[in-house]
Every structure is written in C-alpha cells, then in structure tokens.
Amino acid sequence: MSPFEYVSVLISIIYGLGITLVLTGVAELISRWKTIVPFLPYFIWIALVFVLHIYEWWEHYALRSISSWSLPLFLFVILYPILLFILANLLFPTKWSKKGIDLKEFYFATYSKFFLGTIFLAALAIIQNVFLEGYKLQDQFVQIIVLAVFSSLLIWRTKNVVIHTLIACIMLLFMLASVIYTSDTLLVQ
C-alpha cells in the first residue's frame, strides 16, 4: 500500500460520511414532504454541498503525487473534508417537529453558521492550493470571490430572499462552470 492509498482511506470515509448526511437529510425531507414549507435557496445549497463533496473527493486524487506524508500534512489536508462534513451537517435540522418545518425559517436561523463555514472552507482551499498545488493567489479568482461575497453577506446580515436566491444560483453556476472548465483535468489515470 502506498502512502497516498493509506491516507486517502480516512479522507474518503469523511467525504462518504458527508455524502451520507446529505442523502439522509434529503430522504428525510422527502418522507416529510407534506409537513415542510419549501424554500428554493435551501434546496440549491443542498445540491451544491452534495456536488462539492463528490467534486472534492474526485479532486483528492491529485494528491497522489505527494510521495511522503507527515502527520501535520495529513491533518492539514483532512481539514477540508472535515469542514465540508460540518457544512453538510448544518444543512439539516437536528430535531424534526411532528407538525413540520418551514425551511425558510430554518434557513434564516442557520445561514450565518453555514456561511461562516463556507468562508472557512474557501480560505482553507486558498491556503491548500498555494501550499500543496503551487497556485498563486491570482489563480484563485473563484475562491477569493466566494470569500468576499460570503464575508460581505455575514457582515450585512440581510434576510432578503431575492439576494439569498441570487447568491445560491450564482454559486451553482460557478460550480457548474468549474466542473465544465476543468473537465479535461478531472481524469483519473
């Protein structure tokens, strides 16, 4: 077993747990559909976090070029899937009321924690890209935009539905564009 294979097992488990959280949460929403009040930005964030788990797990394969792993390096690398797992957990209520849940209310009660997690995730992505992938800051336009937008939203603390819907849609478009733009580099060989 190579060092990469060894460390990738735990990283993959954490990504898998995050995917499990999202799928379980979606199944719970479906089973309680008659008792929930839907909210579009909430559903977009669920889709984004799900796709981000899969995308990042796929991208994780690029770390195979690291031939020697230390515990500090491993802990640094594993922070990203851990933060992504936490984001997945923040998406769903811990307790479900029998009478139902208004997803708009739930979203606005928890969005600041979710956005803070997104800020940490973007900052960590920038740091990891610089130190592990050799990117320069100017190569990380999307991550810097995410950092700026979500920081602004946290400071502004708006509960304007149009703004939240627009931000969620823009993030979805960024994610789709990123997958399409990098599709030639997303090969496992």
> Tokens 């602004």 belong to which residue?
152
Using one digit for the tens of pLDDT, what is the confidence trace for 18-51?
999 999 999 999 999 999 999 999 999 999 999 9
Helical (H) or strand (E) element with 36: strand 36-37
Query: Under a CB-based contact definition with an 8 Å cutoff, are residues 140 and 126 in contact?
Result: yes
Distance in angstroms (rounded) separating the CA atoms of residues 103 and 27: 15
- Cβ atoms of 122 and 56 within 8 Å: the answer is no
> In the predicted model, is pLDDT for residue 86 greater than 90?
yes
Mean pLDDT for the chain overall: 91
Instruction: Dihedral sign for Cα 110, 111, 112, 117, please.
Output: positive
What does the DSSP 8-state code read for residue 135?
-
For residue 188, name the pLDDT band (cuts at 50, 70, 90). low
Average pLDDT for 155-182:
89
Domain boundaries, the chain: 3-185
Is 30 strand, coil or helix? helix
Q: What is the largest CA-CA distance in the chain?
A: 54
Query: Per-residue pLDDT for 189 more than 60?
Result: no
pLDDT at 53 over 60: yes
